[in-house]
Structure 1
Amino acid sequence: MARILSILVGLFFTVALLWSFGLGFYTWTTEPAAATAEHEFHLHPKNVHFASDGPFGKFDNQQLQRGFQVYKEVCSACHSLSHVAFRDLEQLGYSEAEVKAIAAGFTVPGTDPNTGESAMVPGSPTDYFPKPFANDIAARAANNNAVPPDLSLMTKARHNGPAYVYSLLTGYRDQPAELLKHFPEAKTPPGLHYNPYFANLNLAMAPPLSGDGQVEYGDGTKSTVDQMAKDVAAFLIWTAEPTLEKRKQTGWAVLGFLLFATILGYMSYRNIWSDKKH
């Protein structure tokens, strides 16, 4: 009797599960999801090309240096690069003396040599880029209750990351009238800024690139908003994967070896079994 009862209970739950699944599928196919402002007005990243794209792509060190300059003069006030050490900048073509000078321009936690007490001291090449805020509370207080994310791995943390960074930096605009007409509740709250490339359309970060000429490039390149956004996005590709070029070179060497081994194996197969077939 207990066995029959357990079978009936199992059948009941199976039928209930199938029924709920079927009802959910029917509802999904017959009743479309309610439209939202995020669904209707969120835009995919723009199409943009970087020198490091593709299987043969390589970093453009001149562009990376420009991107670092944008980060240093604009982004570093709010965003950290906690996975990048100053000495890593030598990979961008900076000399040892230039790296030392760049590091000394930042202050990092250290020890006062005169008193032995904790203090902020000039950075050295072995130090990592410091955080701009002492803690998350200070970061929230300075950024409309939002904590600026670390940018070290940003181009890996977001889908189509380089294009996302570029699009976000160049995507600030006024809310379209059509959005306010159909979704008045989606009006950008005070203190936030409309950007259709951000997931929920509004973000706490004000437009960091305020206009052309904001950064004076040392190589004479005209620093338009578009150029600065593309340069800093390229720099963040490097911070997220500084070994990108080496990985691609290794990949081609491995593919060449596998191709050679495949041909060699096939020739060995033909040689060994040529007189064994009838």
Structure 2
Amino acid sequence: MGSLFLRNLNYFIGAAFVVMLVIALVGTVSGLVSNPPQETVDEAFHVHPTPLHLESDGPFGKFNDRQLQRGFQVYKEVCSACHSLKHVAFRNLEDIGYSEGQVKTIAAEYQVPTFDPKTGDRDTRPGVPADTFPIVYYPGQGSPPDLSMIAKAREGGAAYIHALITGYRNPKTFTKDGKSLMKEFPDFKVPDGLHFNPYFANLNIAMPPPLTKEGQVQYMDGTRPTIDQMSKDVAAFLVWAAEPKLEARHRAGVAAVIFLLIFIGLAFGAYKNIWRDIKH
């Protein structure tokens, strides 16, 4: 009798718990329907980048060395003043079509910090191909974001880089989906020293627009240096910097798939040969 009472009590408690959960769920859903959460300023102004199609995309993608060299030129003349490539060695530039002599010349244009453990003295010397790109420091501010892995560190990769570079806007005239958001958020202001960019996570970025006019970089191969073209080229270069062995990985992947297909075919043939005379 006592065990039956305890069992019924357990059923009652379980049923009451389920009922309370259902009541809470219904109350939450009805509350969201009647009073939907208000969109924040960041959510309202933020824009996701549109896809950027590069020749390196897809399982059969390959790098375009001419584009990578143009992208490196943009990085060297515009970005390198603030951003380093500490995981890229100068000699790696041979992989995108530069000769050994050109790499030596490029490396020598940079000053690489040195340290003498005997005297404790710090100095600089011209770079050599074995050196990595030196880290850029600002006194009292540390080092700006390194760009070696930026294409992998940011969602969207190359598309995000291209959108960020070309996405600076005036918030007063900025529209999204055909409507001006300043009417909805009239108190929105860009803090002094920052710049409005709807592709940046919190909208306001300290970096001023890096590319401001056509021809800011004069391409040596004759390509028209529009802002859009320069931003695409540097985005492609940073994809290579983040994954320089991408082509080798693609080749290995294709070879592995071909091997597996051949192996499956041989295994199926062996199966049919062994079991063909055996009746079930």
TM range (shorter): 0.7 to 0.9
| Equivalent residues in 2 for 1:53-68, closer than 5 Å | 53-68=57-72
Deviations 1:186-209 (A, max 9, x none): 221121111111122211110000
Q: Kindly report structure 1 stretches of 4+ aligned residues shifted beyond 4 Å.
A: 10-26
Shift of 1:117: 3.0
- Paired residue for 1:151? 147
What corresponds to 1:33 in structure 2? 37
Residue equivalent to 2:204? 202
Match of 1:174 among 163, 170, 178: 170
Task: Measure how far apart 1:44 and its partner are.
Answer: 1.3
CA-CA distance at 1:15 after TM superposition: 8.9
> Matched residue of 1:74: which SS?
helix
Aligned equivalent of 2:264, options 255, 259, 262 = 262
Match of 1:162 in 2: 158
Deviation readout 1:201-260 (Å, 9 max, x if unpaired): 211110000111111111111111111100000000000100110111110000000001
Equivalent residues of 2:137, 2:144 under 8 A apart = no
Tell me how far 1:106 sits from its aligned partner.
0.6
Cα deviation, 1:35-69, whole Å, max 9, x if unaligned, reads 12222221111232111112211000011001001
Q: Does the CA-based 8 Å contact 1:38-1:201 persist in structure 2?
A: yes
Aligned position for 2:188: 186
Q: 1:138 aligns with which of 137, 141, 166?
A: 141
Q: TM-score, normalized by length of structure 1?
A: 0.85
Rounded Cα–Cα distance in structure 2 between residues aligned with 1:105 and 1:18: 69
Which residue does 2:275 correspond to in 1?
A: 273
| Rg comparison, structure with higher value | 2
| Structure 2 residue ranges without an equivalent (≥5) | 1-5, 174-179
- What CA deviation, in whole Å up to 9, does each residue of 1:107-162 have, x standing for no partner? 111157xx883201111111111111166x334xxxxxxx6311111111111110
Distance of aligned partners of 1:265 and 1:190 in 2 relative to their CA distance in 1, 3 Å threshold:
same
Shift of 1:91: 0.4
Matched ranges for 1:4-83 at <5 A: 24=28, 26-83=30-87
Identical columns (%) = 54
- Paired positions, count: 264
